[in-house]
Amino acid sequence: MKANTVDFGIKDALAQLEIRPVNEGSSTGAINFSNGEIMESYSPVDGQIISSVKSTSRADYEEVITVATEAFKSWRTIPAPQRGEIVRQFAEKLREKKEALGKLVSYEMGKSYQEGLGEVQEMIDICDFAVGLSRQLHGLTMHSERPGHRMYEQYHPLGVVGIISAFNFPVAVWSWNAALAWVCGDVCIWKPSEKTPLCGVACQNIAAEVFKANNLPEGISCLVNGDYKVGEFMSKDTRIPLISATGSTRMGKIVAQEVAARLGKSLLELGGNNAIIVTPDADIKMTVIGAVFGAVGTAGQRCTSTRRLIIHESIYNTVKEALVDAYKQLRIGNPLDEKNHVGPLIDIDAVEMYRKALHEVVEEGGTMLVEGGVLSGEGLESGCYVKPAIAEAKPHYRIVQHETFAPILYVLKYSGGVENAIAIQNNVVQGLSSAIMTNNLREAELFLSVAGSDCGIANVNIGTSGAEIGGAFGGEKETGGGRESGSDAWKIYMRRQTNTINYTKDLPLAQGIKFDL
């Protein structure tokens, strides 16, 4: 360990997860032939170096692909319920190491310890979902127009699934993909964010322990580390039929073009500019709780974070005052200290984006209701701690149309019916999460109707942030159109095949075509 921080049990957590310096041997556990440049992971909590990993060179990558491809040949032949049993064992290991992994997530990424634990719980939940799914990978049976024929469809595994994940959910989003892909019979190659590589190492160590105990090839789960260049290796590789990428819209467009150029599949989970509509019939207390958590949870670095609050003019001042009072109660500091609500941004670059956004909203004519700013002082030495801010703004402001990954909430006013609020909400290029606060049944149903929210997620009387396993997660427009986690999201990890069986002595052709010899 290069880090000198041992507060809040970090040292013990790293030991449990087998995180150690590269010069003491490979810290990956699962397949990772990395011999590239050293990547150091810094914690935004205190600015300390936690540990180091090696990036993946082109030669390393080729070895990983070879091992993964070979592992697929045997993994795909194992019955799906038995693959589900392996995923069940992985979930049990996660339960054993939940506190340690949650602590690492909190320390390396900067989210609160409670949110770190919640992220690991999401991993456990998706594994439980996948175990049940392993006995339900069903197709359909259809009636044939030809006598003595039977038609049906079935699903087969795709092969190697490439996963590119973002820093803000450094373990959960990988598991959403990996757990489903594994029960479907696929193997995975994962490139975690270069900002949170140790979370990837920890997960691979846990997975490797399960595979080894079951005499399974490690290539079922592979890890590659590095910057965008490693992502390019994956996106351009015809040996990877599916790339699942989570990140910015800019990144997603690049990945989509590269994958489409080789006629591969892409699953994209990209930016969000999420809004909560607050109508005159809203429960104000519930609204404030949902809006504050949505805006400041994970320091505003969730793709589902609440960016815009669209409030009816009749209750605008009441809601505004309640929000300002609530922000006065927020405690900002070390996220491992459970007394604090808000931790740091991921790095100095994120802080600079936050500062530019605050400057721009004022330049465009906005008014600050809760002033922002960068914090300093004891325990805040990393330079990544900022104040959650609230700005009164107009829907058309460029900065309001843009997603800033930081705790900035834009308060917007609407008049007239809820249709006007819905129009404001939908008038952005992103389409991930949305919510309405109302006790009016007609308003709620309109919001959920075809004339309502154009987002992939639409909630009533809960906020935009926080999705549970079981429902498909994803969005429309520049959010990418992908769906992960629940419902029938498993189908993208498989290839569909239609089968027709003739059990007669004749060979009739479809559509009544005659072809006699």
Residues assigned a catalytic role: 269, 303
Give the residues across from 408 on adjacent strands: 389
Structure-block tokens of residue 359: 């400057």
436: nearest Cα among 451, 424, 448: 448
Helices marked H in 249-340: 249-261, 284-296, 316-327
- For CA atoms 326, 465, 357, 282, the dihedral sign is negative
How far apart are the C-alpha atoms of 124 and 95, rounded to whole Å? 7
Q: Residue 74: which H helix or E strand, with range?
A: helix 58-75
* Pairing assessment for the beta strands 274-278 and 221-223 based on DSSP bridges: unpaired
How far apart are the C-alpha atoms of 274 and 398, rounded to whole Å? 15
How far apart are the C-alpha atoms of 356 and 373, rounded to whole Å? 11
Residue 306: CA atoms inside 13 Å, Cβ hemisphere, count?
35
How far apart are the C-alpha atoms of 133 and 84, rounded to whole Å? 8
How far apart are the C-alpha atoms of 196 and 329, rounded to whole Å? 30
Residues 409-446, buried b or exposed e (16+ Cβ, 10 A)? Answer: bbbbbbeeebeebbebbeebebbbbbbbbbeeeebbeb
With a CB cutoff of 8 Å and minimum separation 6, the contacts of 427 are 395
* One-letter amino acid for residue 273 of the chain: N
Distances (CA, A) of 257 to 71, 253, 268: 28, 6, 12
User: Do the beta carbons of residue 230 and residue 163 sit within 8 Å?
Assistant: no
